[in-house]
Amino acid sequence: MKPDVERRYVITLSCPDRTGIVARIAGFLAAAGGWIVEAGYHSQVPSHSDPDTGWFFTRQVVRADSLPFDVDELRARFAEVAAELGGEATWTVADTGVRKRAVLLVSKEPHCLHDLLGRVAAGELPVRLEAVIGNHETLADIVRAHGVPFHHIPFPAPDDPHRKAGRLEAFDKIRALVEGHDPDAIVLARFMQVLPAHLCEEWVGRAINIHHSFLPSFAGARPYHQAYARGVKLIGATCHYVTSDLDAGPIIEQDVIRVDHGDTTGDMVRRGRDIERLVLSRGLRWHLEDRVLVHGNKTVVFR
């Protein structure tokens, strides 16, 4: 059996830093015979304003067959360990034997959707696509060709007199569809409607957006046009958690590509897609593999 595809338990924990945390966790796992195949640690250096307050983060991957108990028992026992580390500790235990679930939100732009469908079909992303929801029908056919349900939830036109109410109604329908799947990830794959604040809160830590600029530059609308106007020599994309503060949530991943004076905004749109695809798929993978720990408005990513 290939060692890299076997069943594993993935533990994450973050808490205020102090001496002995690693020993406590490692000791717990060793006592149970746990075989650690990946271990990431990060101690955030305390700030100068408050030098006594550092923060500790870890991600541990254990071979399931090395433990004499199942994942529920692991959770119960690890809860005791975490409790010793103080009330501020947050932790998760995931089981790679249970496939994660995602729902995608799309509009008309096809490239991120095509890319994710292709990666799932190729077995590259550890996720089951439960459904794709679009405010346009443009992308329905390709989604269904991949055997994934597509739901069309139209949004009111910009000049609709009842636009505000219509939007909330549409988002209520989306919310109901999404909740029905209880997804681990809600991916805004170039979805061109701004989520209302209450959904941002409800989906905090699960809603992932791809923005087509190297944030914080060029937030908001038409970032490639902004980039063209400023004459930058690189354009980028940013994958981040959605918060009610537009394009300002915790950044998971970013990348850039070189452009020059010969690139029109049309060229930037086209070439930027290559970066959007890569950055979204990397960010989503890390999220699904429990590699991303959010702290304040920043992320620790154990790659």
What tokens does 243 get? Answer: 């918060």
If the CB atoms of residues 193 and 217 are measured against a second copy, the closer one turns out to be 217
Q: Residue 94: which residues within 8 A CB-CB, separation 6 or more? A: 9, 10, 290
Least separation in angstroms between CB 62 and a second copy: 10
CB of 157 to a second copy, least distance (A): 23
Residue whose CB is less far from a second copy, 30 or 168: 30
The yes-or-no answer on residue 247 being catalytic is yes
Q: Which of 50, 65, 184, 247 is catalytic?
A: 247
**Residue pair 183/166 in contact by the 8 Å Cβ criterion:** no
The 8-class DSSP code of residue 47 comes to P
Residue type for position 232: V
Smallest gap from Cβ 179 to a second copy, in A, equals 29
Tokens of 9: 């338990």
Report, in this order, helix, strand and coil percent for the chain, each rounded to 5: 35, 30, 40
Q: Residue 243, exposed/middle/buried by CB under 10 A (0-12, 13-18, 19+)?
A: buried
Q: Which helix (H) or strand (E) holds 208?
A: strand 207-211
Amino acid (one-letter) located at 17: D
CB of 151 to a second copy, least distance (A): 19
Q: Give the residue with the Cβ less far from a second copy, 135 or 299.
A: 299
Taking the least distance from each CB to a second copy, the nearer of 31 and 157 is: 31
Catalytic residues: 247
